[in-house]
Amino acid sequence: MSKERPVGGVDYPRTVQEFRDWFPNDDACVEYLELLRWPEGFTCPVCDG
């Protein structure tokens, strides 16, 4: 998987082998989901930190 911002519904593994390559561990999966949800990084909505 590229480090560029993934696009939801477009950039996803299409085979089981591709899934295993993209997400060899839980941390890789979390990183992918974080990039989808917060492409510019997470910012606290309360303190903007």
- Residue-wise pLDDT for 1-49, tens only, equals 555 777 777 888 999 999 999 999 999 999 999 998 998 889 988 998 7
pLDDT score recorded for residue 3: 58
Find out whether 1 and 32 touch, Cβ atoms under 8 Å.
yes
Q: In terms of residues, how long is the chain?
A: 49
Find out whether 19 and 13 touch, Cβ atoms under 8 Å.
yes
